[in-house]
Structures are given as C-alpha cells and as structure tokens.
Amino acid sequence: METSEDTLPLNTCHVQKLLVTFNRLHILLHSIALGFLCYYRVCFLLQYPETNKGIRLLPWFLVFASEIILSFIWILDQAYRWCPVTRSFFPERLPHDDKLPHVDVFICTTDPTKEPTLDVMNTVLSAMALDYPAQKLHVYLSDDCGSPLTLHGVREAWKFARWWLPFCTRYRIKSRCPKAYFSALENDDDDSDFARSSVYVADKKKIKEKYEAFKEEIKMFRKDRVLPRDNPGITAGDHSSIIEVMQENINNEVDNVKMPHLVYVSREKKPSHPHHFKAGALNVLLRISAVMSNSPYILVLDCDMFCNDPISARYAMCFHLDPKMSSSLAFVQFPQKFHNISKNDIYDSQLRSLFTVQWRGMDGLKGPVMSGTGFYIKRVSLCGKSESKGTDLQKLKEYFGSSNDFIKSVAQNCTSDLAYDRNALLEEPRLLASCEYEIGTKWGQEVGFLYDSVVEDYLTGFILHCNGWTSVFCEPTRPQFLGTGTTNLNDVLIQGTRWYSGLFENGINKYCPLTYGLSRMPLLQSLCFAWLAYFPLYCLPLWCLATIPQLCLLNGIPLYPKVSDPFFFIFLFIFLSALIKHLQEVLLTGGTIYKWINEQRIWMMKSITCHLYGCLDALLKKVGIREASFLPTNKIEDDEQMLLYQMDKYDFRVSNIFMIPMVFLITINISCLIGGVYRVLLVGDWDKMLVQFLLAVFLIAVNYPIIEGLIIRKDKGRISLLVAIPVILATLVLLAFCREIHNMLY
C-alpha cells in the first residue's frame, strides 16, 4: 500500500527569479552597449581617411579584435546567467535501507611523493565510513604507481577501519575522515551529541591511540624504504598489475563489524602503452568493479577529496531514485570544496565562479559539467550508446574487449550483487587490468571515461550530455567533500596550464561544442560548454590590451573616443558594467571586496601565462609536436608557503616562464604611463588619450602586488631580482626601439 510518504517528492528545484530578472536585464543593457561599440569601430574604419598610412591601423585592428574576442567569451558566459536554480532534497523520504542500490567508490592516486599515503588512506577511510549500508558499499583504490607504500597503507587502513567504522556509527560522528576529526578535536570543535558522555571520552581516547599507531606504522614503513624520488611511475610507469581484496578476518579483536569491501588495484603499465592518466585508471576500476560488485552507481573521488559528511550517498539517491528524473540522469555532481582556503583566497583556488555561479546556471539548463571528483554516476551511462551495440557476442567484444565476465555484467544491466569466491575471482580482474585489454576496443572512445582530452571529466560529461543524458548539481550547506586546493602560485599556474590545454583542445577537435554540441543539445547548454572550451582564449585580448594601448599612449596614437565624444560613455559603461556585475556575483556568493580584486588580478595573471601556454600546448598537440601529459598537483602541505597564502602574500617563487611575462608587462605599463604623461604634458591632447591613460593606471593598480614583490618585499616569496632585472632592462631597450621605429615612420 502506498503511504503519503511515498508520494512526497525526493527533491525540488527552484528558479532564482530575482536573480534571473536582474541577470537578463544586465545582459540586455550590456549587449546594447556592445552593439554600439561595434558600430563605433566599424564607422571609424569606414571613415578613416585614405591618405593616412595603413600601418597606423594595425594597433587599432588589434584592439578591435581583442574587443571582439572578449565580447564572444562574454556572450558564451551569459548562458550560465540565464536560469540559475537551487535545489532541495529530502533524504528522510528515501526508501528503507534494504531497498537502496549498491554503490561503488573509486579513488585514484598516482604518486606517493606528491600524494602522501596517510592522506590517501584518510580519504579511503572516510569513504568506507559513509552512512550507507556497509554490505552495499564497495571501495576501490586505484594506485597508478603500484607503490608498496600504498598497498601497505591500504592493509593498515583496513585494520584501522575495523575500529574506526563502529566508532563513527556508534557516536554518529559527522566528520568521518580521521585526520579531519582529530584536528577538529584539537581545535575544540567537537559537536558530537555525546561530547560529555564518559564512555565516549574513553572510546575517543582509545581510538585516538589506534589512529596514532596507524599513522606511525605508515611513517615507519616509508622510512624503511628508499623511494624513487623523481616521478615514480607517473609517465613512464612500468609494472605489472596487483589486485588485492582486503580479507574479512584479519582482526579478531573486534567482532561483528559489517565492513564495506575494500579493493586495492594497481593496473599494469608499460612504457610502450599509453595509459591515459586518470581516465585510464578509472576505466580499469570500472571493469574490475563490474565483475566484483557491479553496483549501479559509482562515486568518483580524487585521492585528496575526503568525505566531509557521511550522508552524500543518500543525498545523491534523492535524485537517482526520483522516478521523474532518474531515467535520463547520468550523474549528481557536488561542488569541489577545499579545506585549506584562506578568507581572501588570492589565487582563487576555490574556483568560486565555477562552483557557484556557473554550475548553478547549468543546473537550470541540462545540468553541470562533470567535475572530476565528488560525483555519483550511473554505471550504465558509461557503457556507451546502447543502440549501437546490439546483442551479438562478437560485436560486444569489439566494443567492450574480450572478457566474457565483463560482458555478462553489462547484460545484467548493472544491478547484480555478485557473490564471488574471493580467491578464484582474481584471474578475470587481472585480465581486465592488463594494459593490452583495451586495444581494438571502444574503451576511452565510446565506453567509460574518454581519452581525447586531459580534462577527461569535461569531455566525458560533454559527450554524456550530447547523448541525451542530464546531470544535477547538489549543493548541501555542509560541504560533502573537501580536497586540497593549490595554494602557491607556481602550482596554480602549472595546474591551470594543464586544464586550459585540455579544455582548449576540446574547442579545436571534432568535439567542438559549437558544432558537435549544438546539434545534440540545447543552444544555451552548448554555449556553456563552449565557454569552458574557449575561455583560455582570454590570453589574446589580455596580452593585446596590456601592451598595444600603452605603446600607443607613449607614441601619441589615440585608440579610443575622446572624452567629449558620446561614445566615450559607451566604453566607460561596458568597463564598469562588467566590473560591477563581477562584484555583485562575488558578494552574492559570500565573497568580499578583496576577493573581487583578487579574482580580477589572478584572472589577469593566469590569462597572460597559463591560458597562453595552455592554448599553445593544445595547438602543438593538435599538430602532433607535443604529447599529452598530466603532472599531478602537489598535495603536501608546506607550512611556510601556507603562511604566505594565509597572509594574502603572493608566492612569487615561480618558474621563469611564468615570471617573465608578468614582469615584462608591468614594466611596459609603468614606463608607458610615465612616458605617456610626459608626452601629454608637452602636447596637451589629454582628452584623446584619457582611456589609454586610465587603462594603464587600472592594470598597474590591480597588479600592484607584482610591484610590491619586486621592490618592497624582503621575504622568501618576493620576485627574484636575478630574473627581474634582465627582463626590465630588455623591456626598456625594446620600448626605446619601438619609439625609434615610430619616429622613423611618422
């Protein structure tokens, strides 16, 4: 019999009406202004006196081209603002535990030097401790390095879990990542209902001792071994596969603990076979888990993204089990949040705009982009398009590879709970983890996580959406997953270069969102994907606008309307409207004015460096000069560097390829401003040059920390003068040279 509970919805969705109205009004006004800008530029071109030398038009064209690119990216960006929504969900209305589906958890790690084993194990433990029926939870750890350290860590984590899991359930602990739990205790932040009970206090003490012993064990094991320092197994991995299922009866001290499965997987790697980085690792887990647990839903986590709240699986099920949306729903994405973000977040490590404004906006269309970690995906959605496979065994093998067991699992529609004989089962997984398994199959092309881009998450999500799947953005107040954000400039820029290369390559390959996407999904949704693929192009207008108007200021070439010209106000309006809209969004999503300025600055710094290198990298890959690479980020916490970040001080100890453009551009802006003011004082045409003058002032003001790092700061994070002085001198010589050429020509 149906009760009224059954008919209550598991989730609801609300359009943010006020915001929608405001956004659309802003889009209208800003677009009109952009229309006037184009009109002004085109008229100028048509009226330009023939007699003048063509060369004078070059800077003018470059600036116009920049304005067009900026407008293009702006238009794409508006799709996110069209219909932002928020969602509510009611896990208490879910069916009883025995009706919940099974869930597999995939965790990837690759490098024990950059990804400390203890932290990875903390992630594993937090996933095992999810508030979900233990027999329905299966945790898989992929170790791309095949490191004995990690394997040992998993064995120890399994032992510790037999203490940790019952402790968490008994006291309904919220923070189930041991490291986070114990450090919160130190900060006296213990909000457990049992805080005062003496049994709890005693148990807590005992569990703390167990954790310390577990930590010590991992540390000692590490000490006893010499680690291959330089990139163990990242690119040129060479090892055979290891698969180990943690066995139930290791520890007899604690009885009757229901434990989720825990499986360690290290796939086979050979230098001669491309391993496709994280996507390759996930696909191996996808196959192995299919013949072990074959759960219909999968949670994917990076090794540093621990579960900060045990309830996420139930939240996700509020969508996956909703009969109205479940048939087309591929994944439920949670925002990426980080545990080490400072108040003003100088590097925008939290990617504020992406995980608040943009993903909420896409949620009102067909759903957010897959974001690599913290999402619950439906296994069948990763099996490729069903109609193209048929039922012929030979065809299926061409699709999925030679494993009969795997094909059987697909045929079971991902709903079985296979009772496997633990020892006999390892033969098939070994085949599935071999590096030759995928040869001649559709893995990475149509099946599983896709290989054509190093941002496998974007591409996989994009193709899912193209195939008619949808996604949902789930954003509970308490962050469900917490990762380690990059908190030093060098890491931020290296990570950015990888991302933007990966994103831009999707804009120039066959999966271009504006062609491939447009014919397969609604316009606005494809514009959102297009923004992600093309915003690395910011590098072009930013380089242009940081040099051309300034050089022209120095040489007395006006590029913008005079102050007395009505079109002056159009430019002013566009500039202010963009800035104020950004400010409004920062404030609305919990940021401060400082955060707003910091975002402007890091956007400029990234645009002139890693956007540029990312685009170049993608182009070089396209013509076949470069190979794909995936340098994992550093997850080790460095106190000194963390301190700089917490104090809002930029850590300028960055690689020269990042430092040189910054010093170069700031020198150009300062010297052109000084030279330009001097020239205007002589000539007196200030109203013609005002915009260029203001532009230089604006850029210098926003990037003041670079000047500070050059001249004022004395700490370790300052800009090395050894690098800066030659760059500054070279820039000045170049400027003098430009001025000479200009004087020769006119």
Note the residues at the interface with ligand UPG (CB under 6 A).
108-110, 115, 142, 144, 277-278, 281, 302-303, 372-373, 454-457, 495, 498-499, 502, 630, 632-633
Q: Name 108's bridge partners.
A: 142, 302
The string of DSSP codes covering 565-631 is: STHHHHHHHHHHHHHHHHHHHHHHTT--HHHHHHHHHHHHHHIIIIIHHHHHHHHHHHTTSS-----
What's the closest the beta carbon of residue 339 comes to Mn ion, in angstroms? 12
- d(CA 170, CA 509) in angstroms, rounded, equals 53
Say whether 278 counts as a known binding-site residue. yes
Give min distance, CB of 633 to ligand UPG, in A.
4
* CA pseudo-torsion sign 14, 343, 605, 739: positive
**What's the closest the beta carbon of residue 350 comes to Mn ion, in angstroms?**
13
Instruction: Assign 3-state DSSP to the chain and report helix, strand, coil percentages, each to 5.
Output: 55, 10, 35
Torsion of CA 67, 68, 70, 75, to 10 degrees: 140
115: annotated binding-site residue? yes
Nearer Cβ to Mn ion (310/372): 372
Residue 123 or 667 with smaller CB distance to Mn ion: 123
Residues 6+ apart with CB under 8 A from 113: 227, 229, 232
Residue 487 Cβ, how far from Mn ion at the closest point, in Å?
12
| Complex with ligand UPG: residue 10 or 435, whichever CB lies closer | 435
Q: Look at residue 632 and give the partner it binds from Mn ion, ligand UPG, none, a contact being a CB closer than 5 to 8 Å depending on partner kind.
A: ligand UPG
Residue 499: name its binding partner from ligand UPG, Mn ion, none (Cβ under 5 to 8 Å by kind).
Answer: ligand UPG
The answer to whether residue 144 is catalytic is yes
Would you tell me which residues interact with Mn ion (CB under 5 A)?
302, 633
Q: Which does 599 bind (CB under 5 to 8 A by kind): ligand UPG, Mn ion, none?
A: none
CB 306 within 8 A of CB 180: yes
Residue of 375, 426, 107 lying closest to 241 (CA atoms): 426
Is 438 marked as a binding-site residue?
no
Residue from 387, 388, 425 nearest 409 by CA: 425
Residue type, 200: Y
Q: Which of 104, 131, 143, 144 is catalytic?
A: 144
457 included as an active-site residue: yes
| CB closer to ligand UPG out of 496 and 541 | 496
Residue nearest to ligand UPG (CB): 372
Which of the choices Mn ion, ligand UPG, none does residue 630 contact, using the CB cut-off of 5 to 8 A by kind?
ligand UPG
Check whether 92 is labelled as a binding-site residue: no
Decide: residue 408, CB within 10 A, 0-12 exposed, 13-18 middle, 19+ buried: middle
Residue 243 or 281: the one with the smaller Cβ distance to ligand UPG is: 281
Q: Cβ distance 84 to 19 under 8 Å?
A: yes
When CB distances are held under 5 to 8 angstroms depending on the partner's kind, the choice from Mn ion, ligand UPG, none that residue 549 binds is none
DSSP-based three-state secondary structure for 18: helix
302 is in an annotated binding site: yes
110 contact choice in Mn ion, ligand UPG, none (CB below 5 to 8 Å, kind-dependent): ligand UPG
Select which of 452, 457, 491, 651 is catalytic: 457
CB of 304 to ligand UPG, least distance (A): 6
C-beta of residue 350 within 8 angstroms of C-beta of residue 482: no
CA–centroid distance for 111 within its chain: 19
**How many residues in total does the chain contain?**
746
| 111 vs 405 by CB, closer to Mn ion | 111
Nearer to Mn ion, 175 or 336 (CB): 336
Which residues make Cβ contacts (< 8 Å) with residue 504, sequence separation at least 6? 533, 534, 536, 537, 614, 615, 618
> CB of 370: closest distance to Mn ion in angstroms?
15
Residue 447 identity:
V
Q: Which residues are catalytic?
A: 144, 457
Annotated binding-site residue numbers for Mn(2+): 278, 302
Annotated binding-site residue numbers for UDP-alpha-D-glucose: 114-115, 144
